[in-house]
Structure 1
């Protein structure tokens, strides 16, 4: 996946959080098993972000052909501790997250941040 619209549509799908990452899974209307990786600047500098992307890419290449959901977009969002986690531990977490997504057992929806009252903002 390369288009921003694909990532935004995946954000409306099933969400499974793990210590190293968050997995998003969304049906894509028959486009096959696709994946995307997101690593924000909060996680680290460019070297760290690229290392995480390489690790996630290897994880997904190994897991998606067998365990991925058919005709779904899979997005991994890196969390802060992803670089310190052992690769085998990440593999187990991804397999567990894919099993939960296949069973439809996602995490509860996130609560939106409440905006301050407009009167308070004007002061």
Structure 2
């Protein structure tokens, strides 16, 4: 099976946040940005690539529903890496409004909402110190 068309389009292990200390550092020193569906906590990581963590509370629903949401989040990241600012650790947290509307929204709408947040992060980081 030839994968030349998909090269670089994978979600690699080193791009995942897994260690407790990384999550703790994000919570304590990271900046956050929020919309009704998501909160993203982010912090420069000193690498040439970004790392991602996902958080979905049990109140969101049963495991099937939570896992579908995490699959959607990973897919958005995987297919849109070129849009997301590099060199950051990101923690994406699902909010209550998303839990309420999850069955009603389409994947496309979900993707647009999440990518808008990354665009805002990029704007905020590039405009620091500019008045």
TM surpasses 0.5:
yes
1 CA distance for matches of 2:25 and 2:110? 25
Task: Specify which of 113, 117, 123 is matched with residue 93 of structure 1.
Answer: 113
How do 1:40-59 residues align onto structure 2 when only pairs under 5 Å count? 40-59=57-76
Match of 2:24 in 1: 8
Superposition RMSD in Å: 1.7
Runs (4+) of structure 1 exceeding 3 A deviation are: none
Task: Specify which of 46, 59, 66 is matched with residue 29 of structure 1.
Answer: 46
After superposition, what is the alpha-carbon deviation per residue over 1:55-75, rounded to whole angstroms, capped at 9, x for unaligned? 111111122x21222210111
Larger Cα-atom Rg = 1
Give the secondary-structure state (helix, strand or coil) at the position aligned to 1:10. helix
Q: How many residues are matched?
A: 104
Contact in 2 for aligned 1:32/1:71 (Cα 8 Å) = yes
Which structure carries more helix by proportion? 2
Contact in 2 for aligned 1:14/1:101 (Cα 8 Å) = no
1 CA distance for matches of 2:120 and 2:31? 10
Scaled by the length of structure 1, what TM-score is found?
0.74
Match of 1:77 in 2: 93
1 CA distance for matches of 2:48 and 2:58? 30
Structure 2 gap segments, 5+ residues each: 1-16, 126-131
